[in-house]
Every structure is written in structure tokens, then in C-alpha cells.
A and B are shown apart, each in its own frame.
Chain A
Amino acid sequence: DQQVKQNSPSLSVQEGRISILNCDYTNSMFDYFLWYKKYPAEGPTFLISISSIKDKNEDGRFTVFLNKSAKHLSLHIVPSQPGDSAVYFCAACARGSTLGRLYFGRGTQLTVWP
């Protein structure tokens, strides 16, 4: 049973526009959420995270929003750039669980075209 879901396998956005990647989770014990980005032939790299005590975290062009009541988070990229084209993974972990035990979504392939 998948506890973290990314229902959109792909997203295509024009350069300069906003990219919005969505993630849903089912486990109410999750209280820390991360986004990873993966280029082909490379490992996932950490992008941004958010704790459940917050509803927004911003880092430059990247903002993550958390809606705990809906068990939903989203990653906004503004403005989108061609170099942002990658697979984006949403991940979550629960208080009290093994450190580093992350539950991942299947990923969303973002393509930013000029």
C-alpha cells in the first residue's frame, strides 16, 4: 500500500511560468516532508523540506506548501527554467521511525520548454 502518492507522472511547463508538483500522503504519522530532484544517470538530490509545524517553506525559486488536513503538499517552482527539467520525488517520514526511513512517491517528470 503506497503511503506517498504522486498522481501526475509528468508535467510540461513553459519557461518562465510556474510549475506546481503535487503529492498526497495517507499516513497521519508523517510529520516531515522532503522533495528530491533526479537527473538521468544521477542519484536523487535534496531540494527542500518542510516540517509539519509549518505550512510553507521557501528557498529561492522553490516553495513547498503543506496542507495537513488534506494530507497534501505541493512544490512550486517560479519561474521555471529549462534546467529544472528532472524527475521530482516527494518523500515523507514519521516521528519515531528509523532515521533515514523515507517513504517516496513514484515521481513526476517535469519538462520545462523554452
Chain B
Amino acid sequence: ETGVTQTPRHLVMGMTNKKSLKCEQHLGHNAMYWYKQSAKKPLELMFVYNFKEQTENNSVPSRFSPECPNSSHLFLHLHTLQPEDSALYLCASTSRLAGGLGDGANVLTFGAGSRLTVL
């Protein structure tokens, strides 16, 4: 496996279900992200993890619970979601060791996404 792998690719769940999205990166990166793309909206940052530590939560509701057990894996635990949470959830990674702007540190590598439908 290479790059950033997300599973499952598609998920349908009811509002009372509990499910998880998984992301794995094989790039040796040390920062990982969850982005969300809702219909007709731009990609929006949800969470940032840097060396396994959460460094940013972009005002995401608590029904979304991220977990980063190590620098290669990132999970998004879902519970009591709403239909408006239906979206494409994209995981991404980058290397913070690249330093400042302009040298590729902000070049995110994305996974293919998990398409979530909440009924």
C-alpha cells in the first residue's frame, strides 16, 4: 500500500449508529488531518494531529470524535449523527519537518475519501 488509504469508501448509517472511519498513511508523514466536503461546499478542515497530538479542532460537534494512536493512523469515530452530516470525509497528511511556507510543508496528500450517508 502506498499513499493515504481510507476505509470504508462508502458508509451508510442510521442516526443512532456508531461507526468509525479509518485512515492510514504510508508516507512517513507526521501530521494528519480530517477534512469534510459537503454537497456544494468547499473542503473544510475538521481536525489536525501533529505527532499524534490534536493541535486543532475547527469547532467540530462532539458527535465526531477523532483518534490518532500513532503518526500513521487516524480514526474518526461517529455517533448520533444527523442527516446533514452526510458528506465526503477526506483524510490527509503532510510532513511538518519540511518547515515553513513555500517548501511543500502545506502540500497535503489526500486519501480517496469516505462517502458517508446518514439516514
Contact = CB atoms under 8 A, between A and B. Distances in A.
Q: Do A and B bind each other?
A: yes
Contact of B110 (A2, A45, A49): A45
B90 interface: yes
A49 B102 CA distance: 8
Given A106-B40, A106-B42, A99 B4 contact: no
Contacts of A42: 112
A2 B90 contact: no
A43 B110 contact: yes
A103 B58 CA distance: 12
A96 B10 CA distance: 36
A100 interface: yes
B107 A49 contact: yes
A100 B106 contact: yes
> Which bucket holds chain A's interface residue count?
20 to 34
B46 to A, nearest CB: 11
> Which bucket holds chain B's interface residue count?
20 to 34
Contacts of A49: 102, 106-107
A32 B101 contact: yes
B27 interface: no
Nearest to B111: A43
Nearest to B42: A104
Interchain residue pairs A-B with the least CB separation, the first 8: A43-B110, A104-B43, A51-B102, A104-B42, A32-B101, A43-B112, A106-B42, A44-B110
Interface of A: 2, 4, 31-32, 34, 36, 41-46, 49, 51, 53, 89, 91, 93, 95, 98-107
28 contacts: A32-B101, A32-B102, A32-B106, A34-B106, A41-B112, A43-B4, A43-B111, A44-B43, A51-B101, A51-B102, A89-B42, A91-B43, A93-B101, A93-B106, A99-B31, A99-B96, A99-B105, A100-B45, A100-B105, A100-B108, A101-B48, A102-B45, A104-B42, A104-B44, A105-B42, A106-B40, A106-B41, A107-B42
